[in-house]
Amino acid sequence: MMEEKNKTCHACGAENPEGNKFCEKCGRLLQDETEKTEKNMKNQSAIKNLSRQKKVLIGIVVGVLLIAGAVCGIVKYYDNKTIAEYNTKISEADKYLNEQDYEKAETAYLAAIDIEPKIDEAYLKVADVYVVQEKYEEAEMILQKGQKQAGGKQIKAKLKQVKPYGLYDEYINSTIVQDVGLADIDKRTNISQINTGLVSAEICDFNKDDIPDMLTVAYSNALITITLYTCKDDEVVELDSVDEEYNMAAAEASKIDIFLKEYSDKQYLVLGEEYLMSGASDTLSTVFEIDENIEKQCTIYGLEDILSYTYSINDKVIAEFDESVDVYEGNEASHDANQRNAINTLSKSFEPYGIKANRLLGKDDYGTWIKRATCKEEDTSETYLCYFQTGFYTSDRGIEFGGGDKLIIKDKTDVRSRIK
User: For residue range 117-155, what is the model confidence (pLDDT) as tens digits?
Assistant: 999 999 999 999 998 888 888 988 998 998 899 888 898
Q: What is the mean pLDDT of residues 224-251?
A: 93
- Give the tens place of pLDDT for each residue, 32-66: 555 555 555 555 555 555 556 655 555 565 555 55
Predicted pLDDT of residue 156:
87
**pLDDT score, position 75:** 41
pLDDT of residue 325: 62
Summarised one tens digit per residue, pLDDT across range 349-365 is: 999 999 999 999 988 77
Question: What mean pLDDT is predicted for residues 242-252?
Answer: 89
Residue 306, Ramachandran bin (φ over 0: left; ψ between -120 and 50: alpha; else beta): alpha
**pTM of this structure:** 0.73
How does the average pLDDT of the chain come out, rounded?
85
Mean per-residue pLDDT for 87-97? Answer: 92
pLDDT, residue 398, reads 77
Q: How far apart are CA 213 and CA 177, in angstroms?
A: 18
Report which of residues 411 and 248 the model is more confident about. Answer: 411
Q: Which of 31-45, 257-271, 291-305, 317-331 has the lowest mean pLDDT?
A: 31-45
E strands, 85-212, in order: 189-190, 197-204
Smallest CA-to-CA distance from 138 within 147, 130, 129, 146 is with 130
Buried b (16+ CB within 10 A) or exposed e, 251-282: bbbbbbbbbbbbeeeebbbbbbbbbbbeebbb
Mean pLDDT of 184-213: 93
Higher-pLDDT residue of 390 and 160 is 390
Q: Which stretch of 8-12, 16-20, 31-35, 316-320 has the lowest confidence by average pLDDT?
A: 31-35
> Is residue 332 predicted with pLDDT exceeding 50?
yes
CA distance linking residue 166 with residue 392, whole number of Å = 39
pLDDT number for residue 1: 43
61, 77, 232 from 71: Cα distances, Å: 15, 10, 51
What is the helix (H) or strand (E) element at residue 399, kind and residue range?
strand 399-400
* pLDDT tens digits for range 66-79: 555 544 544 444 45
Cα–Cα separations (whole angstroms), residue 379 to 28, 80, 165, 374, 383: 105, 43, 25, 12, 8
